[in-house]
């Protein structure tokens, strides 16, 4: 019987070296945390795949998940819109780039507007 994996739906939670789930992996040479960015928060706008609706995306905030969600909650209240946190990216409904820029600069982040 072959022990090779043929199909798996959980590709992101496996160790690239041993193939085990990250919580079971004991590879000491690999750091499974996400790589650190350049310290700049980038704010962009996207409509692709959203039925033509605009969404403001904020990437590059290096905070733990709980603190990131708390920051997103403050930001949503300031912008007066809904949103969510998905895979370390804050999504705000609507084009709220300028309001988000001012808010994050007041919170002492280095911020750039990304895209057109």
* Residue-wise DSSP of 8-73: -S--TTB-TTT-SBTTT---SS---SPPP--SEEEEEEE-TTTTT--EEEEE-----HHHHHHHHH
Report yes or no on whether pTM surpasses 0.75. Answer: no
Per residue in 97-114, pLDDT (tens digit) is 999 999 999 989 999 998
So where are the chain's domains? 40-113
Per residue in 22-77, pLDDT (tens digit) is 777 766 544 545 455 678 899 999 988 888 899 999 999 888 889 999 999 999 99
Predicted pLDDT of residue 8: 59
Domain 40-113 part of CATH 3.30.530.20:
no
Please, is 8 exposed, middle or buried when counting C-beta atoms within 10 Å of its C-beta (0-12, 13-18, 19+)?
Answer: exposed
- CB distance 80 to 10 below 8 Å: no
């Amino acid at each position: 019987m072959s022990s090779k994996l043929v199909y798996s739906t959980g590709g992101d939670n496996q160790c690239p070296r041993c193939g085990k789930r990250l919580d079971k992996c004991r590879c000491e040479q690999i750091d499974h945390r996400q790589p650190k960015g350049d310290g700049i928060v980038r704010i962009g706008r996207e409509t692709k795949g959203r039925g033509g609706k605009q969404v403001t995306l904020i990437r590059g905030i290096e905070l733990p998940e709980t603190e990131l969600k708390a920051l997103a909650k403050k930001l949503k209240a300031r912008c007066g819109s809904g949103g969510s946190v998905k895979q370390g990216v804050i999504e705000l409904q609507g084009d709220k780039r300028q309001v988000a820029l001012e808010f994050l600069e007041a919170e002492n982040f280095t911020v750039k507007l990304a895209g057109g």
